[in-house]
Amino acid sequence: MNIKYLTLLLCPLMLLLAASCSDDDDNSGDAWQKANAAYWDSIYADTQAKVAAGNASWKIIRKYSLESSLSTLGKTDYIIVNVLNEGTGSGCPLYTDSVRVRYTGRLIPTAQYPEGYVFDTNNPYNLPDSQAAVSDFAVSSLVPGFATALQYMHIGDKWEVYIPWTLGYGETASGSIPAYSVLRFTIQLVAYSHAGSSLPTFNAKKRI
């Protein structure tokens, strides 16, 4: 067959395949966005029902920087909290404070990762809390959803915090976190200090 004729036949096919691959990539990103939106809608509705039924271990908390009087607040202006353990500390960190925490961050559950892909943690070996490492952060350096949760926590509190993409990394991917991702953090507040003060020295209990 004439090479020129063969090229003329193959070019449209190659263009079609390229377009198909591009569509698949777009659909993949769109599918992730839709899956996260559906996940958030579901857990938000479930939490509303639990709160209405008097379940005090679940909370819906408005983003720290938004006024309660605003009439335009939507579902993604809030974080969702499941209280796993209540601490005994008094007071809560401020936005200008520093905190010491244990944390694990996951994406929403998928077929490949039924518990959610772990994108960040300071306890990779799942050690007991008394033996696990800690990390220090300025509250103001964290994504809005994480910062919001901390400002309602007391020392010793351990929460599972669900953060919509609007209060996480939004429409932009960050490392292994795709755009439009709902984030699920397990957070334990170990200590905090006000601006101008230092966090206390940390001594983890040794493994037996």
Question: Dmax of the chain from CA atoms?
Answer: 83
Q: Which two tokens stand for residue 156?
A: 């010793």
DSSP category for residue 174 = B
Domains of the chain plus CATH, in order, are: 34-193 (3.10.50.40)
Per-residue tokens: 44: 């938000």
pLDDT given for residue 123 in this prediction? 95
Cβ(142)–Cβ(159) below 8 Å: no
CB 78 within 8 A of CB 58: no
Under the banding of pLDDT at 50, 70 and 90, the label for residue 203 is: low
Q: Rounded to whole angstroms, how far apart are CA atoms 81 and 60?
A: 6
Q: H or E element: which one contains 144?
A: helix 144-150
Nearest residue to 104 (alpha-carbon basis) of 88, 120, 117: 120
- Residue 189, strand partner residues: 101
pLDDT, averaged across the chain? 87
- Position 135 scores a pLDDT of 96
- Rounded mean pLDDT of 52-80? 91
Report residue 7 as tokens: 């090229």
Beta bridge partners of 136: 100
* pLDDT tens figures, 1-49: 444 443 444 444 444 344 443 333 333 589 999 999 999 999 999 999 9
Instruction: Report pTM.
Output: 0.83
The DSSP output letter for 108 is -
Could you tell me the pLDDT band of residue 80, with boundaries at 50, 70 and 90?
Answer: very high
Let me know: does 161 contact 149? Beta carbons within 8 Å: yes
pLDDT single digits (tens) 137-159: 999 999 999 999 999 999 999 99
Q: How confident is the model at residue 183 (pLDDT cuts 50, 70, 90)?
A: very high
Structure tokens at 204: 């983890």
pLDDT value of residue 26: 37
| Identity of the residue numbered 54 | G
